[in-house]
């Protein structure tokens, strides 16, 4: 990391928003940039801590799961689940096309 | 007997209600009706509830009464009304996690914690308000508007389980469920003058709780005393085949909670939590110190411990929590989960994702998704997510070493009492720093609780003392908490800003 004060650029914010599938409201962008810059600057305090050779800890159980028996069980009734979908037809969920037009 | 069952039903604690209903002193229906009536009268000011389930709560209570009439023995929470944080599924009730993106979603099943409460004959009376998806420390990040602190309606109740804390404090329910990812049970309990417990990671099944940060989230009880927390924990604890991260763990004691003998208790005060830190109310520090002096006088041994990485815990936590949140919340895209934005035949699925998420998520949730996505993105993963995960292991080791020297770490739950509504909404970083004392328990998976101690010397607002224990040591910290609450009266019992029950 360089010593220059960190600042999240327009391009970085746009890139992260695209990765996160979030359509940003242009009016919010300057404030978001200020907030995220301040928070990421604070995160950078972690860089000063010596973690050489330390195994990352991603979970309190460190992967020691207690798995249940691999047996089939009855799930929720189809009609209960379908009732939660905004559009459905003949037991299928209706969604927009995945392949762009003209492709 | 006469004393125990005197006063308004809404002032009874859960164990008193369960005894009264079990012995036929009063009906579950009368208990439920009394609480529903108080909710109708008081909750328009407090706004603890998002949804009150009047008809089904009464029907459930009547069913419990019918079973007693048939001679059946009732469960340990017979007829006890329980308020459930909106993050947690209750079959047939809306479950939005206070987010617009889940508006209209009706949970088709009960969370395991809720099913266990029902099996113990508790009665679910409604869903409580919270910060959206649990992201916040004030319950102001709710799509349905803020909850007000029953001690001062112009102040926040804490968060994210602010509705549950306010409901218990205002005698709208004797017990409630919350979720705690970085202090979301303990901090609102502290700010509303009630008790709250975040169990050891794995002690209580999270099945049916909407995931915010899966390696940090826990469900736990909120109540008006440590003994009540213990009673509810006994019902909730245990391995659940539906949650691979749940564990049986060492057994809890059976029977009621007994206060620890303070003569044999060693409490560790981390030097990093000592004195008045930047951003801390000196009145909070003073009352915590006064409590420690009282405990020492009563025979407890107070020792100093050094946990240097506590100073890095906020940065560590917010990297880990936002990274996990960005991954967990990816499922709300208007297709798999979440309210779908309007779309035309020309729209691509990617455009629909982005617009559904922009319309459905509030500002703080969007901020955290962006932060977490950044921390996990190519080129930044090692510097942020991996680094924070390494610091997490070092911090956990330091906490375990400190806990080897004492029964519990002790300090304030929150650096401040309840602050005025709106005071910190424009400064996310200032809000994050309010979590300084609570987040290390989540990073390390340790049990921790908050109990009310002496109120603030000038404002009279509640102050919480936090006890943080070794893995699976819930019963030990609960019994110490009971000894502390037996020793000192704590705040005046009922909040002053709403009519007393």
CB-CB under 8 Å, A32 with B429? no
DSSP at B391: H
What's the pLDDT score for residue B394? 98
Interface of B with A in 319-378 (CB under 8 A): 319, 326, 330, 333, 335, 339-340, 343, 345-355, 357-358, 361, 363, 366-367, 369-371, 373-375, 377
Q: Nearest chain A residue to B441 by CA: give it.
A: A60
Q: Kindly list the residues from chain B whose CB atom is less than 8 angstroms away from the CB atom of residue A86.
A: 339-340
What's the pLDDT score for residue A1? 47
What's the pLDDT score for residue A66? 82
CB-CB under 8 Å, B349 with A59? no
Q: Nearest chain A residue to B205 by CA: give it.
A: A66
Q: Is the pLDDT of residue A2 over 70?
A: no
CB-CB under 8 Å, A61 with B247? yes
> What CA–CA distances, in Å, run from A59 to B168, B238, B385, B494?
32, 19, 13, 40
Interface of B with A in 283-312 (CB under 8 A): 309, 312
Q: Which of B327, B83, B66 is nearest to B224 (CA)?
A: B83
Q: Nearest chain A residue to B202 by CA: give it.
A: A61
Backbone angles phi, psi at B83, to 5 degrees: -100, 135
CB-CB under 8 Å, A20 with B108? no
**Which residues of B are tagged catalytic?**
85, 160, 184
**Token pair belonging to B255:** 């029977």
CB-CB under 8 Å, B349 with A95? yes
Interface of B with A in 184-223 (CB under 8 A): 201-202, 215
Q: Kindly list the residues from chain B whose CB atom is less than 8 angstroms away from the CB atom of residue A58.
A: 215, 389
Please report the DSSP string for A1-70 in residue order.
Answer: --SSPP---HHHHHHHHHHTT----GGGHHHHHHHHHHHHHHHGGGGGS--TTPPP---TTTT---PPP-
Q: How far is A4 from chain B (nearest CA, A)?
A: 16
Q: Kindly list the residues from chain A whose CB atom is less than 8 angstroms away from the CB atom of residue B391.
A: 46, 49, 51
CB-CB under 8 Å, B354 with A22? yes
Q: Is the pLDDT of residue A6 over 90?
A: no
Cβ atoms within 10 A of the Cβ of A83, count?
11
Strands B301-305 and B81-85: unpaired
CA distance B461 to B191: 8
Residue A66 near residue B246, CB atoms below 8 Å: yes
Q: Is the pLDDT of residue A38 over 60?
A: yes
What's the pLDDT score for residue B491? 57
Q: Is B241 on the interface with A (CB under 8 A)?
A: yes
pTM for the full predicted model: 0.97
Which of A96, A97, A102, A103 has the highest number of chain B CBs within 10 A, making it the mutation to test binding with B?
Answer: A96
Q: How far is A90 from chain B (nearest CA, A)?
A: 17
What's the pLDDT score for residue A3? 56
Return mean pLDDT, chain A: 87
A to B CB pairs, distance under 8 Å: 155
What's the pLDDT score for residue A99? 66
CB-CB under 8 Å, A84 with B106? yes
Helices A29-43 & A10-19, crossing angle to 10 degrees?
90
Strands B81-85 and B123-128: parallel
* Terminal-residue alpha carbon distance, chain A: 42
Backbone angles phi, psi at B176, to 5 degrees: -150, 160
Mean pLDDT, chain B cut into blocks of 10 residues (501 residues total): 80 97 97 98 98 98 98 98 98 97 96 98 98 98 98 98 98 98 98 98 98 98 97 97 94 96 97 83 95 97 97 97 98 92 83 95 97 95 96 98 98 97 92 95 98 95 97 98 88 85 94
What's the pLDDT score for residue A103? 41
Strands B81-85 and B218-223: unpaired
What's the pLDDT score for residue B1? 44
Residue B178 near residue B85, CB atoms below 8 Å: yes
Q: Which of B227, B228, B169, B229 is nearest to B199 (CA)?
A: B229
Q: Which of B428, B373, B431, B407 is nearest to B480 (CA)?
A: B407
Question: Which residue from A24, A61, A80 is facing B202, i.e. has the nearest CB?
Answer: A61
Q: Is the pLDDT of residue A10 over 60?
A: yes
Interface of B with A in 151-190 (CB under 8 A): none
CB-CB under 8 Å, A56 with B389? yes
What's the pLDDT score for residue A87? 86
Q: Nearest chain A residue to B213 by CA: give it.
A: A59
Q: Nearest chain A residue to B447 by CA: give it.
A: A60
CB-CB under 8 Å, A21 with B357? yes
């Amino acid at each position: 990391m360089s010593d220059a004060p960190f600042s999240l650029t327009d391009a970085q914010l746009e890139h992260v928003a695209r990765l996160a599938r979030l359509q940003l409201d242009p009016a919010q962008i300057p404030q978001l940039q200020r907030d995220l810059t301040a928070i990421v600057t604070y995160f950078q305090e972690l860089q000063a801590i010596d973690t050489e050779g330390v195994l990352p800890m991603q979970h309190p159980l460190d992967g020691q799961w207690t798995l249940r028996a691999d047996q089939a069980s009855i799930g929720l009734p189809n009609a209960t689940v379908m009732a939660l979908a905004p559009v459905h037809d003949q037991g299928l969920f209706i969604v927009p096309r995945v392949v762009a037009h003209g492709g | 007997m006469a004393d125990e069952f005197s006063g308004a039903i809404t002032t009874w604690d859960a164990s008193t209600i369960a005894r009264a209903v079990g012995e036929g002193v009063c009906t579950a229906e009368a208990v439920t009706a009394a609480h529903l009536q108080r909710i109708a009268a008081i909750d328009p000011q407090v706004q603890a509830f998002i949804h009150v389930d009047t008809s089904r709560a009464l029907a459930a209570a009547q069913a419990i009464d019918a079973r007693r009439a048939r001679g059946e023995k009732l469960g340990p929470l017979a007829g006890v009304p329980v308020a459930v944080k909106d993050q947690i599924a209750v079959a047939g009730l809306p479950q939005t996690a206070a987010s617009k993106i889940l508006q209209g979603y009706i949970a088709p099943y009960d969370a395991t914690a809720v099913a266990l409460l029902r099996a113990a004959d508790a009665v679910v009376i409604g869903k409580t308000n919270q910060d959206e998806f649990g992201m916040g420390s004030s319950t102001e990040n709710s799509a349905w508007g803020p909850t007000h602190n029953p001690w001062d309606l112009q102040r926040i109740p804490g968060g994210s389980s602010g509705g549950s804390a306010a409901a218990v404090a205002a005698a709208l329910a004797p017990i409630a469920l919350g979720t705690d990812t970085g202090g979301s049970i303990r901090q609102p309990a502290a700010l509303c003058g009630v008790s709250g417990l975040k169990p050891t990671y794995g002690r209580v099944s999270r099945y049916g709780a909407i995931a915010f940060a899966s390696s940090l989230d826990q469900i736990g009880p909120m109540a008006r005393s440590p003994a009540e927390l213990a009673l509810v924990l006994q019902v909730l604890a245990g391995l659940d085949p539906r949650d691979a991260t749940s564990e049986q763990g060492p057994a809890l004691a059976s029977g009621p909670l007994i206060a620890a003998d303070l003569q044999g208790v060693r409490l560790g005060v981390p030097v990093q939590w000592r004195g008045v830190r930047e951003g801390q109310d000196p009145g909070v520090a003073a009352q915590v110190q006064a409590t420690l002096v009282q405990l020492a006088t009563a025979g407890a041994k107070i020792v100093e411990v050094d946990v240097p990485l506590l100073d890095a815990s906020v940065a560590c936590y917010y990297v880990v929590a936002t990274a996990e949140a960005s991954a967990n919340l990816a499922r709300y895209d208007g297709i798999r989960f979440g309210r779908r934005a309007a779309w035309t035949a020309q729209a691509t699925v990617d455009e629909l994702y982005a617009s559904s998420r922009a319309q459905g998520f509030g500002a703080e949730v969007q901020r955290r998704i962006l932060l977490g996505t950044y921390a996990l993105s190519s080129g930044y993963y090692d510097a942020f997510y991996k680094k924070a995960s390494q610091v997490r292991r070092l911090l956990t080791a330091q906490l375990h070493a400190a806990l080897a020297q004492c029964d519990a770490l002790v300090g304030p739950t929150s650096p401040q009492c309840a602050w005025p509504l709106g005071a910190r909404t424009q400064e996310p970083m200032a809000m994050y720093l309010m979590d300084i004392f609570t987040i290390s328990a989540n990073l390390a998976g340790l049990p921790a609780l908050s109990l009310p101690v002496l109120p603030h010397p000038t404002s009279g607002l509640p102050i919480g003392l936090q006890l943080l224990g070794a893995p699976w040591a819930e019963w030990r910290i609960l019994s110490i908490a009971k000894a502390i609450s037996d020793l000192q009266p704590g705040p005046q019992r009922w909040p002053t800003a709403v009519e007393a029950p």
